Amino acid sequence: MNLKKIIIFYPSFERGGVELILINLINFFLKNKIKIILISSNFNNKKIIRNKYFEIKNFSNKINKIIPNRVAKALLASKFLAKELKKSNPKNTIVFSLQSSSISILLSRIFKFKIVVRNAEDPLYSTFYAENRIFSIFILILKFLTYSFASGIITNSNGSKKSIKKLIFFKKNIKYIYNPYLKKILKNIKFKKNNYILSIGRFTKQKNFEGLIKSFKYLQKNIDNYKLILVGDGELKKRMIMLVNNLDLNKKVKFISWTNDIDKYYKKSKIFILNSVYEGLGNVLIDAVNYNIPIITTNCKSGPSEIIDYGKGGFLVPVKSNIELSNKIEFVIKNNKIAQKKVIFAKNRINRFLCERNSEQYLNFLKKIFNER
């Protein structure tokens, strides 16, 4: 039997790294003449190559004000998935779930389809540090009850693979594949740098911008000629703006909304910081390496330490250690030669994250699972 169709289940469309990964995967699958059915909400398909093999089941973002938005989207998307499974053939089709995978696993099993799920975050630490602890514990229990019934699981880091293994009974078909993220490796690049410290991400508890801002405040005692550039949007952004005002850092911290022209901030910055309490991988670190920016990241679970080879390609600090982060920023500023050596080491290993290479691994794994008896 040949794999001819992939049904991709992605109920809650989100901007950022996962959007690019999904687009890269869809385009690669289409190039291999595999029909793609994407089930998602308000997905912007302008970057998908025009192809007769691509079909999208799109629905509105505004669904239900009573239950959480993401849950409402998952329930509505499940109706689309059920309809699609009813008219599809399990002998030539597989389901690939990137979100709300417990419900897609159950539906796939009911209709006797094989399903591969992608786990993008460390499931244990994302629960421990979640904004809504009760809801996250519920989701973790669902994963514990359902993930063992998935035909295969893809994680985006080796650390995440080790964590997901603790949750499931059948550990055979778990594979870590780095994100198909990087289109090309930048070579011989030289940019005029400003005294900018850059951080990019959603303003959520996970990214811990609060700790970064406080660390930057400590830095002012010894070094005060740098600015902190924070790029992104999210529910905690207004709170972070208030924190900057309270710490009298208005002239030192600049907030930038999410933009497609994000490259210019990489080009101008001298240091990149990821201060997350947990991650799946950390695509922004890949970009920072590509632009030859020295990296400071928390040693959180699971991916950031792998990107910088456990400290060989950047600097690691403990999670939620504001003073240590401040001290490390000062060290990098004063020891640029050491920082640049680490960047060179990381850049020499960045091909691990190339789009074409990892997209092929995704497709090969899907075909492997599809053909297993």
Separation of alpha carbons 229 and 21, rounded Å? 25
Separation of alpha carbons 289 and 286, rounded Å? 5
Separation of alpha carbons 265 and 330, rounded Å? 20
Separation of alpha carbons 21 and 368, rounded Å? 21
To which H or E segment does residue 274 belong? strand 271-274
pLDDT at residue 66, rounded to an integer = 65
Instruction: List the alpha helices (DSSP H) in 14-122.
Output: 17-31, 69-87, 101-110
pLDDT tens digits for range 280-320? 899 999 999 999 999 999 999 889 999 999 999 999 999 99
Regions in the chain scoring below 50 on pLDDT: none
Closest CA to 327 of 216, 200, 196: 216
To which H or E segment does residue 370 belong? helix 355-371
pLDDT at residue 16, rounded to an integer = 65
Please, what are the domains in the chain?
Answer: 5-180+354-371 (3.40.50.2000), 196-352 (3.40.50.2000)
Neighbours of 309 (CB within 10 A): 15
Residue at 16: amino acid letter: G
pLDDT at residue 239, rounded to an integer = 97
pLDDT at residue 266, rounded to an integer = 96
Q: Which sign does the torsion angle of CA 176, 181, 183, 184 carry? A: negative
Closest CA to 4 of 33, 44, 43: 33
pLDDT at residue 231, rounded to an integer = 96
pLDDT at residue 287, rounded to an integer = 95
